[in-house]
Amino acid sequence: MRRVLVLAGAVALAAPLSGQTPAMQAGPATTLLVAVDRRPALSLDGEWHVILDPYLNGVNNFPKDETSSTNPRLEYDFAKSPTLKVPGDWNTQKASLLNYEGALWYERHFSYEPQPGTRAFLHIGAANYRAQAYVNGHLVGTHEGGFTPFDCDISKAVTSGSNSVVILVDDTRLADGVPTLKTDWYNYGGLTRDVSVVTVPDAFIDDFDLHLDRATRSRIEGYVHVVGAPAGTTVSVALPEAHLRTTGVTDAAGRAAISLQAKGLSLWSPQSPKLYHVQLTAETKDHPDQLTDVMGFRTIEVSGSKILLNGEAIVLHGVCIHAEAPVRSGRVDSDPDVTTLLTWVKQLDANYVRLAHYPHDERMTRAADRMGILVWSEVPVYWAEHFGDEAVYQKSQQQLGEEIRRDRDKASVILWSIANETPNNPVRTAFLERSAAFVHQADPTRLVTAALLVRTEGNTKIIDDPLGKSLDVVGFNEYIGWYDKTAADADTTVWKTSPDLADKPLIVSEFGAAAKAGFHGPATERWTEEYQANVYRHQIPMLNGIPHLRGDSAWVLMDFRSPMRVLPGIQDGFNRKGLISNLGQKKEAFFVLQKAYRENALGHAN
């Protein structure tokens, strides 16, 4: 069989701005189906044929005469093209693509039999950074954002029997992208998470929010949203194990309010990560839709400077993690990847992870639910974004909305982070104040945070970023002994918080130093394991002296690839601040931090 890409009816693009790649063709709007991993699906994971297209030739070489009566066509024959694994980044699958940034076409066939009364969606777990999807030559959706999922309605494009799906992915970094041009992580391109075809009834549950009421912790509140059904459709929610069930009816917008008495429910916590099967049913006339999720129920809130989990003060002992696969490198895209990383977290005696600096694979938050690990989840508003550009704000809000919508059913996720290490100026502050307000409105059941920079005056560190007033929990990064002064200077460092932030909980969202695993020497020699461990030994008592410190996340669990890190023989393209090497070797600092966590020697609950 010839494997041919035929794109019909496409239009020529406007000339790109100087120094930028052209925008992809606008297409039908995408949506995001919640708990999609709990629905029956036809997996499209596996080998896909690919064609490299660095000049976006497949997009731009259509005839320019839009008045022509003949649909423009461009044919690519995939029969002899190489293949790549999906999910997977292209950089680590072929040596020739290690440093490739640009466009790449993916293609494969699948067999499908449409059923009466159903709709079909092409689900794409993540495509970095921009994607354009076709089924049988029809453009079915476009998406920007490399770390959040999206779903394309292919009901009218799919046919009985063999079908062709083509996805163009372009990971070219953009000045007005989120993130922007420069990041301290590797720009892995490709279809980096699962791809599938999901079939649902014509009327189906596309979104829901069920959470424990903070005031009483004895009611489950929220809503279920149904698409394609008339107002007045009955919706039921049941927790069979707890013998709980209730019903509601949809309003004109398709939303059914839910309120369910939940006395006696076992609350989710790191010590007891209890999960319940939750059955949601839309009682539509011909094809009722039933979706069964697995959820925990807990409350998270602040009271003055305390963080309360289920009404009890808690300290977050944690570590940051990049979505970097252990040993083989590349993007995390499998259950073994996730199991390895989170098992190391548990070995550290941590109860919390900061997922830096973008939403991670849903496997990570599902596993955190099961393993009892609290999660800080972040959107990649990182360093010097174009904060004065409204289009950039809209992109960040889109990604925040997709992140929240996907993981609202995860008990482990307690913190939404809106930014990392952004410059303190009025334009940036206005941008991020809007982001904080958006998140508070989109999900008032969780806490909003950001990783802020601190000021230095002599031996005093000052936390006074005005953005902190819009946050529930104030995160801050510090690197005394690495980027700043010496390890011993931590012993005489004084910390001050501005009066308007003095009654907010603090989390040191990053701290640490770098070392190459296996490189030993005196504690005064940079890059040795001894130096890194010594920095931690001085930082831990210093941080523990900060009032209102309610949590910490060391930087970082494992070494990860970064083009910024070029020191030959030491970095070799990796950020070496990991407590564990990219090959899985635990460094001395791992055991220093482990001891502090086991002795509860960092942070204060009350």
The two three-digit tokens of residue 125, written as one number: 């777990």
Q: Give 306's pLDDT tier (boundaries 50, 70, 90).
A: very high
The answer to whether residue 305 is domain-embedded is no
Q: What is the pLDDT of residue 75?
A: 56
Whole-angstrom distance, CA of residue 492 vs CA of residue 485: 11
Which of 200, 226, 255 is where one domain is finished? 200
Whole-angstrom distance, CA of residue 592 vs CA of residue 530: 11
The answer to whether residue 303 is domain-embedded is no
Whether residue 283 is found in the same domain as residue 325: no
Whether residue 23 is found in the same domain as residue 141: yes
Would you say 195 and 45 are in contact if contact means Cβ atoms under 8 Å apart?
A: yes
Q: Following DSSP, what letter does each residue of 548-601 receive, concatenated?
A: TEEEEEES-SB-EE-TT---TTTTTTEE---SB-TTSPBPHHHHHHHHHHHTT-
Which CATH number does the domain housing residue 46 bear? 2.60.120.260
Q: What is the pLDDT of residue 57?
A: 83
Q: Which percentage of the chain shows pLDDT scores above 90?
A: 90
List pLDDT tens digits, range 545-594.
999 999 999 999 999 999 999 999 999 999 999 999 999 999 999 999 99
The better pLDDT of the pair 153, 263 is held by 153
Q: What is the pLDDT of residue 263?
A: 84
List pLDDT tens digits, range 244-256.
999 999 999 999 9
Whether residue 240 is found in the same domain as residue 322: no
Whether residue 145 is found in the same domain as residue 237: no
Beta bridge partners of 190: 128
Q: How open is the CA angle 113-290-157, to the nearest 5 degrees? A: 30
Whether residue 191 is found in the same domain as residue 225: no
Residue with tokens 């002992």: 317
Q: Give 24's pLDDT tier (boundaries 50, 70, 90).
A: low
The answer to whether residue 482 is domain-embedded is yes
Q: How open is the CA angle 197-203-208, to the nearest 5 degrees? A: 80
Q: How many domains does the chain have?
A: 3
Which of 135, 168, 200 is where one domain is finished? 200
Residue 463 pLDDT > 80: yes
Left (φ > 0), alpha (ψ -120 to 50) or beta: where does 104 sit?
A: beta
For residues 157-173, give the mean pLDDT. Answer: 97
The two three-digit tokens of residue 331, written as one number: 């993007």
Q: What is the pLDDT of residue 23?
A: 52
How confident is the prediction for the chain on average, in pLDDT? 93
Q: What is the pLDDT of residue 76?
A: 62
Whole-angstrom distance, CA of residue 561 vs CA of residue 184: 9
The answer to whether residue 606 is domain-embedded is no
List pLDDT tens digits, range 337-387.
999 999 999 999 999 999 999 999 999 999 999 999 999 999 999 999 999
Whether residue 266 is found in the same domain as residue 353: no
Q: Give 16's pLDDT tier (boundaries 50, 70, 90).
A: very low
Whether residue 359 is found in the same domain as residue 425: yes
The two three-digit tokens of residue 277, written as one number: 């099967």
Residue with tokens 């600092």: 589
Whether residue 233 is found in the same domain as residue 261: yes
The string over 178-217, giving b where at least 16 C-beta atoms fall within 10 Å of a residue's C-beta and e elsewhere, is bbbeebbbbbbbbbbbbbbbbbbbbbbbbbbbbbbbeeeb
Q: What is the pLDDT of residue 200?
A: 97
Residue 352, C-beta contacts closer than 8 angstroms, at least 6 positions apart: 270, 316, 317, 318, 373, 374, 375, 376, 551, 553
Residue 448 pLDDT > 70: yes
Whether residue 97 is found in the same domain as residue 149: yes
Q: Find the helix or strand (DSSP H, E) in which 89 lies.
A: none
Distances in Å between the Cα of 565 and the Cα atoms of 76, 137, 178, 182, 368 are: 38, 42, 21, 13, 30
The string over 459-483, giving b where at least 16 C-beta atoms fall within 10 Å of a residue's C-beta and e elsewhere, is eebebebbbbebbbbbbbbbbbbbe
Which CATH number does the domain housing residue 219 bear? 2.60.40.10
List pLDDT tens digits, range 66-79.
444 444 444 567 87
Q: What is the pLDDT of residue 190?
A: 98
Whole-angstrom distance, CA of residue 471 vs CA of residue 217: 24
Residue 7 pLDDT > 50: no
Q: What is the pLDDT of residue 28?
A: 87
The answer to whether residue 304 is domain-embedded is no
Whether residue 326 is found in the same domain as residue 224: no
Whole-angstrom distance, CA of residue 595 vs CA of residue 604: 16
The answer to whether residue 310 is domain-embedded is no
The answer to whether residue 422 is domain-embedded is yes
* Intra-chain end-to-end CA distance of the chain, in Å: 68
Whole-angstrom distance, CA of residue 70 vs CA of residue 48: 30
Whether residue 378 is found in the same domain as residue 506: yes
Would you say 473 and 307 are in contact if contact means Cβ atoms under 8 Å apart?
A: yes
pTM for this prediction: 0.95
Residue 484 pLDDT > 70: yes
Whole-angstrom distance, CA of residue 407 vs CA of residue 565: 32
The answer to whether residue 205 is domain-embedded is no
Would you say 531 and 538 are in contact if contact means Cβ atoms under 8 Å apart?
A: no
Which of 200, 232, 265 is where one domain is finished? 200
Would you say 363 and 338 are in contact if contact means Cβ atoms under 8 Å apart?
A: yes
Whole-angstrom distance, CA of residue 380 vs CA of residue 417: 9
Whether residue 408 is found in the same domain as residue 494: yes
Whole-angstrom distance, CA of residue 77 vs CA of residue 79: 6
Q: Following DSSP, what letter does each residue of 28-81 receive, concatenated?
A: SPPB--TTGGGS-EEE--EEEEEEE-TT-HHHH-S-S-TT-SSPP--EEE-TT-
For residue 227, what are the domain limits?
Answer: 215-298
